Structure 1
Amino acid sequence: MTKENQNRRISKGWQLTASITSIFIIIALGFTLIFAPAAIEKGTNQINAHPPYPISQEASRLHQQLTVADLHADSLLWNRDLSQQENYGHVDLPRLQQGNVAIQTFAVPTKSPRGQNYSRNESDAPDGITMLAMIQAWPPATWNSLYQRALYQSGKLHKLEQSNPEDLKIIRNQSDLGMVLTARQQGSQQVAALLALEGAHAFEGNLDNLEGLYEAGYRMIGLHHFFDNRLGGSLHGVSGSRLSLFGRRALARMEALNMIVDLAHSSESVVDEVLKLAKRPVVISHTGILGTCDSPRNISDNLIQRIAEKGGLIGIGFWDAICDTSPEGIVNTLRYAIDLVGEDHIALGSDFDGGTKVSLDASELAVLTELMIRKGFSETEIRKVMGENVQKFLMKHLPEEKTEA
């Protein structure tokens, strides 16, 4: 064999090896894109194993008469098709309908530090959502832009609405919500979907982006998530600081647009200052109550009372911010919260699909009605806490019609 032929054969061998390697890389990448997102979520959004919860006829009948509302679920972060029922995660349209949910807030996180904890997170810590966006094959524009991540998740909800118009409607104003509630009185199972941003770091320091988010359908803005941002300190950040000048400007612009301000994850200093500055009631979409669960995740009972005194809402969570995550633990926290601030200011704020381990999913909410009946809640208390308070709040504080951004 000539040296030229030998070199040609070696070259072909390398080409074959490279081709086979490329094929294996493509197969591995495809396997990752297909199976990894589900595997990640199954290990993240968990449900404590339990037998079916017994629901009495009395509780079932009352539950079907309720306007059930939840102030916080992070379901848009994941790659599940929310029009289909799955055996993992916490929320999809079939399960919302089985739980008789009339109003579901879809919260959108855009950054979450790896190794996040309730006590202290650096704002420049490596971000876990970046890798999740890549693994889930989100558009490259979302890999480095928090604003684009917010727009992308909003787009997912709009596509869900377009594909399932009889089952879901995004509510942008009071009229939208009124149409859904009227349809439900006539037998529809349509869900009113409220878009909420979890953390104003997605503004990327530009209030023009707030207006872009309004145009994308967002009507509730959480000022913070697990770290400090340009608006001020997070409850789990480093500074504990008050609102910055940019934060005050952002608050004023949100209120001008009739956007609801959410103080979940904000530092106590920020909560205190917002309560002094805000002209409209605010919410804490998902929390525990410090008086029942001594956790750095929860702000003081005094601040909770001040939010209620200003006409606000407090959404009680279903995960470890309430310490006891059983259905009975949720109901006990609801009882404490009602006794603390009154029946008109308490709501559900599940934190479904928020990287949480809970004891029920959206299809099982009737167990809360069951337990409230057993524990002697009045029917009025049950109706208000399970959703009427949220309904009334949104009908009062959403834009009446389209507000120009």
Structure 2
Amino acid sequence: MSHTDLKDAPLQRKNYTGYKSFQYLEAGVDYKVFPLSPELNRVPSRRPEVTPEQEARVRRIFEQHPIISLHDHCFVCPENLEDIFEFRRHGRDFTGYEGLSVSGLDAVFDNLMNGTAMITSRGGWKWDDIIYDLGMRLSDIAHQDMVKLALTTEDILSAKQNGQIAFVVSIEGAAMIENELDRLDILYGLGVRCLGIAYSEGNQLGGGLKEPNDGGLTIFGRQAVRRMNKLGIAIDVSHSGDRTSLDTIEVSEKPVFITHAGARALWNSNRLKPDDVIKACAEKGGVIGIEAAPHTTLTQKHPRHNLDSFMEHFEYCANLVGIEHVAFGPDVLFGDHVGLHHVFANALSIGASRGQLAYEEVEYVDGIENPAEAFPNIVRWLVKHGYSDEDIAKVVGGNILRVLKEVWYK
């Protein structure tokens, strides 16, 4: 195979048969059709230039080691974002199976679209909306064979062996449980295996990152953390306030994830974590996943968001707490992510994720624009910059698996 052919070949062969979401139904009869964004090559996003020898090494890494995204949204946006509110009210998210089939991923922590699940409300994060969103997505996944629901670490490992992708159901905030602790058991029973404390806005558990005063984890929040420990739900503090994050890490008997963030030391934004929170997470055995959603992991050296600014956050965190405590949670999707942020600016607390330093808005994050290209380009970057196979294996999946074996029930 020539170098050109090798570059364009899938990194791992997945059992993709061409299935499209909800094809078990009749389009236009059972549901309204919205034209969707392309899953591949929507924009001219660039990959790192590597030699044929380096590309061959990249492919060996994908073949030999579990590749896990700690945070993504593998759904496909409508092509016309003016349709997005009606699209969301129908509650039918389309998974990007074609894009995932060439992503190289063996497992993905998929966070659905709960913050924009507005089937029964205009504000989102209601219990009925969350259950509707979750059930509809899992119904679609149950009608195909490439993506499988992951409930255990063994599910992740077997997915790799079988040419599948393990789908780890994650939810970014716990507002919908209100003051009902047993709703955590219900979510676990429905397949949820990772849950955030708060999504930017404060709730019954604790403070979100956009609140002017973060009072920390509440008494109920402490009870919820202990219940999640008992159930085997991984805890995420990505969108929690600093005090709430530190309290959660302290109270939890198990390691905690920061599934998608970066270092505030590199960019002054509440959406990123200060050194003390990153260190506390690592000292408890946890992992921080580096975030790539538009205009988050910027740096003063790279104020235009791209793969290099994203990887600067990775290297900073790895130097701060050790490579054993860093992974990747790109937080990307299929479609116009920047446009989606404009439409949902309030619902997604976009203002809180904008740093206080000047930067140039981009149309897309070059090099890490969607789930199909994220991990291939991350590994190419790591190979090109001299990281060992052992360290690459840790950050693209090994570190996450280590935590899950301690946190999950099995």
| Same fold at TM > 0.5 | yes
Pairing 1:146–2:134 present: no
Which of 349, 353, 365 is matched with 1:358 structurally?
Answer: 365
SS at match of 2:198: coil
Alignment of 1:197-276 (within 5 A): 197-276=171-250
Q: Are the aligned partners of 1:90 and 1:352 in contact in 2 as well (CA < 8 Å)?
A: no
- Cα deviation, 1:33-54, whole Å, max 9, x if unaligned, reads 544x84xx89xxx976435654
SS at match of 1:189: coil
In structure 1, what is the Cα distance between the partners aligned to 2:154 and 2:291? 28
Pairing 1:96–2:103 present: no
Aligned to 1:68: 67
Structure with higher helix content: 1
How far did 1:332 drift? 2.2
Aligned to 2:150: 171
Q: Percent identity?
A: 23
In structure 1, what is the Cα distance between the partners aligned to 2:102 and 2:75? 19
Aligned to 1:321: 296
Cα distance change of structure 1 residues 371 and 246 upon mapping to structure 2, 3 Å threshold: same
Aligned to 1:311: 285
In terms of mean alpha carbon deviation, does 305-314 or 64-73 score higher? 64-73
Aligned to 2:135: 155
In structure 1, what is the Cα distance between the partners aligned to 2:270 and 2:123? 30
In structure 1, what is the Cα distance between the partners aligned to 2:384 and 2:246? 37
In structure 2, what is the Cα distance between the partners aligned to 1:277 and 1:312? 13
Cα distance change of structure 1 residues 79 and 162 upon mapping to structure 2, 3 Å threshold: farther
Q: Are the aligned partners of 1:142 and 1:148 in contact in 2 as well (CA < 8 Å)?
A: no
| Counterpart amino acid of residue 151 in structure 1 | I
How far did 1:145 drift? 6.9
Q: Are the aligned partners of 1:259 and 1:398 in contact in 2 as well (CA < 8 Å)?
A: yes
Q: Are the aligned partners of 1:240 and 1:268 in contact in 2 as well (CA < 8 Å)?
A: yes
How far did 1:252 drift? 1.2
Alignment of 1:388-403 (within 5 A): 388-400=398-410
Cα distance change of structure 1 residues 144 and 197 upon mapping to structure 2, 3 Å threshold: closer
Cα distance change of structure 1 residues 224 and 301 upon mapping to structure 2, 3 Å threshold: same
Aligned to 2:319: 339
Q: Are the aligned partners of 2:47 and 2:377 in contact in 1 as well (CA < 8 Å)?
A: no
How far did 1:239 drift? 3.0
In terms of mean alpha carbon deviation, does 346-355 or 53-62 score higher? 53-62
Aligned to 2:386: 376
How far did 1:55 drift? 4.6
Alignment of 1:34-113 (within 5 A): 34-35=33-34, 38=36, 49-51=44-46, 54-57=49-52, 58-59=54-55, 60-65=58-63, 66-75=65-74, 92-111=96-115
In terms of mean alpha carbon deviation, does 352-361 or 309-318 score higher? 352-361
How far did 1:297 drift? 1.0
Q: Are the aligned partners of 1:286 and 1:316 in contact in 2 as well (CA < 8 Å)?
A: yes
How far did 1:56 drift? 3.6
How far did 1:309 drift? 0.9
RMSD, aligned CA: 3.1
How far did 1:282 drift? 0.3
Unaligned runs of 5+ in 2: 1-27, 80-92, 342-363
In structure 1, what is the Cα distance between the partners aligned to 2:193 and 2:326? 20
How far did 1:339 drift? 0.8
SS at match of 1:358: coil
In terms of mean alpha carbon deviation, does 380-389 or 277-286 score higher? 380-389
In structure 1, what is the Cα distance between the partners aligned to 2:76 and 2:218? 29
| Counterpart amino acid of residue 212 in structure 1 | I
SS at match of 1:172: coil
Aligned residues, how many? Answer: 327
Unaligned runs of 5+ in 1: 1-28, 81-88, 112-127, 134-139, 401-405
How far did 1:341 drift? 0.9
SS at match of 2:182: helix
- Cα deviation, 1:235-280, whole Å, max 9, x if unaligned, reads 1124311111111111111111011110111111111211221100
Q: Are the aligned partners of 1:67 and 1:386 in contact in 2 as well (CA < 8 Å)?
A: yes
In structure 2, what is the Cα distance between the partners aligned to 1:108 and 1:363? 17
